[in-house]
Amino acid sequence: MTTTNPITTDELPVDERLELLRTMWQIRFFEDECHRLFAQGLVRGSTHLGQGQEAVSVGVCSALEPGDTMTCTYRGHAATLAKGAPLDEAFGEILGKARGLCGGKGGSMHLTDVRVGALGSFAIIGGHLPISVGAAFAARYRETSEVSVCFFGDGTTNIGAFHEALNLASIWSLPVLFVCENNLYGEYSPLASTTPVEVLADRADSYAMAKARVDGNDVLAVRTATLEATRRARAGEGPTLIEALTYRQKGHSRSDPGKYRPEGELEAWIERDPNTLLEAALAGAGVDAERLAGLKRDAERDVLAALERAQSWPDPDPASLMEGVYA
Amino acid sequence: MSTVTYRDAIVRGMADALAADDDVFFLGEDVGAAGGAFKLSEGLLEQFGPRRVLDTPISEQAIIGTAIGAATQGLRPLAEIMFADFAGVCFDQIANELAKYRYMTGGQISVPVTIRMANGAGTGFAAQHSQPAENWFLNVPGLKIAVPATPADAYGLLRAAIADPDPVLVFEHKGLFNVKGELADAPAPVELGRAEVVRAGEHVTVVATQQMRHRAVQAADLLQAEDVALEVIDPRCLVPFDVETVLGSLERTNRLVVVQEGGLPGSWGASLVASVLQTHFEMLDAPPRLVGSPETPVPYAGALEAAWLPSVEDIAQAARETIAY
């Protein structure tokens, strides 16, 4: 178990840490724009934002190799972008555009980009865990060194598919990483009201599975834990359950103002915002303030330019309605 | 050509599919070392080894999810759900994940998963092991559904399902495992969505699947003595459904009887009747008849289960009524 505070120093060169920060800022601005687009009525249904959880997605995905696969939840913008999906096509999908990642068929909750190994965002709690087990099975079947990763929330550890997936992955010793983003709330319910164990990583013990518990707001700690888990997976030593402690700074979905939070909780977590923590660590490592500010400005500019492109794209042709039900 | 049982044909279909393509693997509960709860996979573990024939925990969600995930990577998983009723345990995986995956990703993902399930009533397994479950999946776009009634179809539809780029549910009827029929020495796949005219006749078109197909043929034998000739059609697949063959027959008979195991609401039989009425009302000389089971769970006692299943006489009587109309 690793818990770290303040942010871990890592052997990763400064330039690579700056790239992590760039991705984290892009995701932050992307989510902020989604929030704004939703308020303007440009996003249909609902959208589930992940501001404050960037370090988990970016830390995990930065430790993966090309060919590794990833599945995530309906709160999946960050993971899909961290795996490498382009900003403009991700916006396009959320806006329901023809050139969106899924041609406008999936929307915010189903961002998928097979080109980068992002196998999908799934909106049924737990439904994708067995699917990542299957992707890992395929890697083992074909004797490749690929691993598969699935992201899910704390609430998922109470649903049956979680337990079936962990059990099968362990009994078959498959190369899969189960990454639990413990943001303390399952939808609107605090974890303690739904879950009798406090340390979710301990659920790995039931399946004789390796586990790690990390500061999910420390991108380098997440990355380090992931590298160890992928090393084990690639060596045939089986799956790992990683619990990343983090916090969602917005509500569950757009309709949730988050009134169930105790006073001061949000503020305390914002003090430990993953992006500003990494920024401070880089400043401490000697990166000058102007470079850090420039990187943040560039990230915002990239996001706004991507959004502008996506907004210029046409809606799907209604004739495409029937395409893709069957091959 | 040889005479084999429906069970033999399934075993051979799986063995031939595994032999033909290394991307095919087979997983399920007790399918390997035990040879299957119904001895449908006897010898496969010995022949193909534990890499390709895998015993799983009793975890239907994990079985289907694993098949889906493996399919995303280009494999062709063949999964067994021991009893079709257990599809209820993994309904999410089938209806929300498997069926919708291609569409909601804009066609990025193919999931060529085949799921075999032991289906249907008549063998005394009671309510939770006898449900004809094929109708559960009728209004889940993205799935194909095969319902073989003969050894040749059990083999041929299974081979076609495994080769198909889309997910296919293959319902194998428990009451037919010992039924015998001809199987070619080098049997061909049976195209999905192609009905078979089982018996030609000029007076009434009877559409029936699985166990009811065999009863419809018996009803045709019975009515021969009354100079009534039934044309029996087995659609063999519910999705895609070969309505053209049914309409071709109705052009000559102008009378329709649909027979299915299971209740009428939300069923393939109800859909077929609705479709014919909407588009070819003028073709009918009598109201179509839909023969099915009462709206109860499948009962246990032999006398009750026999009463639950449509009988040969029920089918014959429905045909007589369309003629008498």
CA–CA distance, B35 with B32 (Å, rounded to integer): 5
Chain A residue numbers with beta carbons less than 8 Å from the beta carbon of B92 are: 124, 127, 161
Q: What residue type is assigned to position B312 of the chain?
A: V
CATH of the domain at A132: 3.40.50.970
pLDDT beyond 60 at A32: yes
pLDDT band at A255 (very low <50, low <70, confident <90, very high): confident
Of A46-55, A257-266, B26-35, B297-306, least confident by mean pLDDT is: A257-266
Q: Do B110 and A132 touch (CB under 8 A)?
A: no
What does DSSP say about strands B230-234 and B76-83: parallel, antiparallel, or unpaired? unpaired
Identify the DSSP state of A314.
Answer: P
CA–CA distance, A108 with A100 (Å, rounded to integer): 10
Superfamily of domain B2-183: Thiamin diphosphate (ThDP)-binding fold, Pyr/PP domains (3.40.50.970)
Query: Considering only CA atoms, which of A17, A24, A48 is closest in space to residue A217?
Result: A24
Q: Which of B29, B60, B134, B172 is catalytic?
A: B60
pLDDT band at A2 (very low <50, low <70, confident <90, very high): very low
Q: Is residue A221 included in any domain, yes or no?
A: yes
Q: Do A133 and B97 touch (CB under 8 A)?
A: no
Q: Which of B80, B97, B129, B134 is catalytic?
A: B129
Contact between B85 and B42 (Cβ < 8 Å)? no
Q: Is B203 a catalytic residue?
A: no
Q: Is residue A224 included in any domain, yes or no?
A: yes
Contact between A148 and A138 (Cβ < 8 Å)? no
Of A118-122, A194-198, B252-256, least confident by mean pLDDT is: A194-198
Chain B: nearest CA to A136, how far in angstroms?
A: 8
Q: Is residue A29 included in any domain, yes or no?
A: yes
What's the per-residue H, E or C state across B242-311? CHHHHHHHHHHHCCEEEECCCCCCCCHHHHHHHHHHHHHHHHCCCCCEEECCCCCCCCCCHHHHHHHCCC
Chain B residue numbers with beta carbons less than 8 Å from the beta carbon of A132 are: 69
Q: Would you put residue A180 in left (φ > 0), alpha (ψ -120 to 50) or beta?
A: beta
Q: Which of A100, A113, A134 sits opposite B67 (nearest CB)?
A: A134
pLDDT beyond 80 at A187: no
Q: Do A127 and B93 touch (CB under 8 A)?
A: yes
Chain B residue numbers with beta carbons less than 8 Å from the beta carbon of A124 are: 92, 96-97
pLDDT in tens, A134-174: 999 999 999 999 999 999 999 999 999 999 999 999 999 99
Q: Is residue A323 included in any domain, yes or no?
A: no
Cis peptide before A190, with omega less than 30 degrees from 0? no
pLDDT beyond 60 at A112: yes
Contact between B82 and B37 (Cβ < 8 Å)? yes
Can you list the residues of chain B whose pLDDT is less than 70? none
Q: Do A325 and B72 touch (CB under 8 A)?
A: no
Q: Count CB atoms within 10 A of the CB of residue A11.
A: 7
The boundaries of the domain holding residue A161 are 14-316
Look at residue A1 in the predicted model and tell me its pLDDT.
38
pLDDT beyond 60 at A9: no
Q: Which of B70, B106, B164 sits opposite A324 (nearest CB)?
A: B106
Of all residues in chain A, what percent are helix, strand and coil, respectively (each to 5)?
Answer: 50, 10, 40
Q: Do A325 and B102 touch (CB under 8 A)?
A: yes
> How does DSSP assign A6-33, residue by residue?
SPPP-SS-HHHHHHHHHHHHHHHHHHHH
- Domains of chain B, by residue range, sit at 2-183, 196-324
Answer whether B2-183 and B196-324 agree in fold.
yes
Which CATH number fits the domain B196-324, given the four candidates 3.20.20.450, 3.40.50.2300, 3.40.50.920, 1.20.950.20? Answer: 3.40.50.920
CA–CA distance, B43 with A262 (Å, rounded to integer): 61
Beta bridge partners of A153: A181
Contact between B248 and B197 (Cβ < 8 Å)? no
Of A30-34, A253-257, B18-22, B55-59, least confident by mean pLDDT is: A253-257
Q: Which residue in chain A is spatially nearest to B52 when comparing CA positions? A: A141
Look at residue B20 in the predicted model and tell me its pLDDT.
98
Look at residue A5 in the predicted model and tell me its pLDDT.
44
Query: Considering only CA atoms, which of B139, B136, B7, B161 is closest in space to residue B76?
Result: B161
Q: Which two tokens stand for residue B135?
A: 């109708």
Domain total of chain A: 1
Q: Which residues of A touch B (CB under 8 A)?
A: 69, 100-106, 110, 112-114, 119-120, 122, 124, 127-139, 141-142, 148, 160-161, 164-165, 167-168, 171-172, 323-327
CA–CA distance, B177 with A58 (Å, rounded to integer): 53
Q: Is B214 a catalytic residue?
A: no
- Residue A294 dihedral angles phi and psi, to the nearest 5°: -65, -40
Q: Is residue A326 included in any domain, yes or no?
A: no
pLDDT in tens, A280-310: 999 999 999 999 999 999 999 999 999 999 9
Chain A residue numbers with beta carbons less than 8 Å from the beta carbon of B61 are: 130, 160-161, 164-165
Look at residue A8 in the predicted model and tell me its pLDDT.
58
Average pLDDT rounded to a whole number, residues A43-50:
92
Look at residue B190 in the predicted model and tell me its pLDDT.
98
Element holding A171 (H helix, E strand): helix A160-171
Element holding B181 (H helix, E strand): strand B180-183
